[in-house]
């Protein structure tokens, strides 16, 4: 017979080493100012209420469903009060939600009403079926790293930006290349002459980095990806580095035109000659919840339209 304390361990932690969470209070976040998500939001809120869950509706999403009877709150309210957040929209909606909730460590589920759906991977036709499984504890959890980019102008910090996909230093309103010095852990790597430079998480390897010729990385890898955009020298290739790496990018003093730093393609700031951007993995990841049958390679086949194996 097993000792008593070992029996308690197996009761508390199921197979896989993670304790299943009872998702009692659930935040609902819809695509910003998109009336097309209203019906799905109503169905989801009704579904959760009928199963005894408390619903906290994102205050901006609530404007899309007038006359509702659910509690509403901002992102901090969702982060502080909710055990789970369900995001309805496309990957852009999920990127914004992930950044806004990262400090609170609230797990996220995505219902895809967008196009590709690498992050919001549950189709609306399977919403009820998938959420039934998740609420019953039949799910998997993926931790996804975020980036933190800190901008310094003349030695002073002027801003910090988080990204789930990527941070991009790029030219702005000009048809010229820019020069970017790049360092990894304090060691000089290269002076890239290109249209810009992407620093990406594994999650972002299916986004802008893929279009720029970067490799696909499994989203759970502890790695970062550096991809030059249209480099002048064809031998400048994407580089995969350790997730613990500290990357520093310096905008060349010869820059005469504008450049920008963009986070996840959604927020940006102006860059000037001599500015330094220090990039590292953020100390808190986000957690994505998937139905237990989730298959990352099946997702790649479907979204990238890879050929299936031929029938025997």
Fill in the DSSP letter of residue 122: B
Q: Which residues pair with 263 in a beta bridge?
A: 167, 267
- CA dist 114 and 179 (Å) reads 35
Q: Is 91 a catalytic residue?
A: yes
Q: String of b and e for 48-81 (b: at least 16 CB within 10 Å)? A: beeeebbbbbbeebbebbeebebebbebebbbeb
- Helices 127-135 and 38-50 cross at an angle (nearest 10°) of 40
Q: How many Cβ atoms from other residues are within 10 Å of residue 195's Cβ?
A: 18
Quick check: 56 and 28 in contact, CB under 8 A?
Answer: yes
Q: Which of 91, 162, 166, 264 is catalytic?
A: 91
Query: Is residue 294 packed enough to be buried (19+ CB in 10 Å), middle (13-18) or exposed (0-12)?
Result: middle
Ranges of beta strands (E only) in the chain are 25-30, 54-58, 71-73, 84-89, 108-112, 139-144, 147-153, 156-163, 166-171, 178-184, 187-194, 196-200, 223-229, 239-242, 247-251, 259-263, 267-271, 276-281, 286-291
Catalytic annotation, residues? 91
């Amino acid at each position: 017979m097993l000792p008593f304390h070992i029996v308690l361990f197996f009761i508390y932690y199921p197979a896989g080493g993670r304790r299943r969470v009872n998702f009692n209070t659930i935040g609902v976040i819809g695509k910003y100012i998109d009336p097309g998500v209203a019906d799905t939001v109503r169905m989801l809120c009704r579904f959760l209420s009928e199963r005894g869950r408390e619903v906290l509706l994102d205050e901006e999403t609530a404007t899309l469903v007038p006359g509702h009877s659910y509690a509403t709150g901002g992102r901090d309210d969702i982060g502080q009060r909710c055990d789970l957040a369900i995001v309805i929209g496309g990957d852009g909606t999920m990127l914004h939600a992930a950044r806004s909730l990262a400090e609170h460590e609230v797990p996220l589920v995505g219902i895809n009403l967008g196009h590709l759906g690498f992050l919001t991977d549950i189709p609306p036709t399977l919403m009820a079926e998938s959420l039934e499984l998740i609420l019953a504890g039949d799910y998997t959890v993926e931790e996804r790293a975020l980036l933190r980019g800190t901008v310094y102008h003349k030695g002073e910090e002027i801003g910090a930006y988080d990204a789930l996909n990527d941070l991009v230093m790029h030219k702005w309103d000009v048809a010229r290349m820019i020069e970017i010095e790049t360092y990894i852990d304090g060691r000089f790597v290269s002076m890239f002459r290109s249209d810009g430079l992407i620093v990406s998480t594994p999650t972002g390897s299916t986004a802008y980095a893929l279009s720029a010729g970067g490799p696909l990385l499994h989203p759970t890898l502890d790695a970062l990806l550096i991809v030059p955009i249209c480099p002048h020298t064809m031998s400048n290739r994407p580089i995969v580095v350790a997730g613990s790496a500290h990357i520093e990018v310096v905008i060349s003093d010869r820059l005469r035109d504008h450049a920008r730093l963009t986070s996840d393609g959604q927020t940006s700031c102006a860059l000037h000659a001599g500015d330094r951007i220090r990039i590292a993995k953020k100390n808190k990841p986000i957690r994505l919840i998937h139905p237990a049958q989730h298959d990352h390679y099946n997702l790649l086949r479907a979204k990238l339209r890879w050929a299936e194996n031929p029938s025997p």
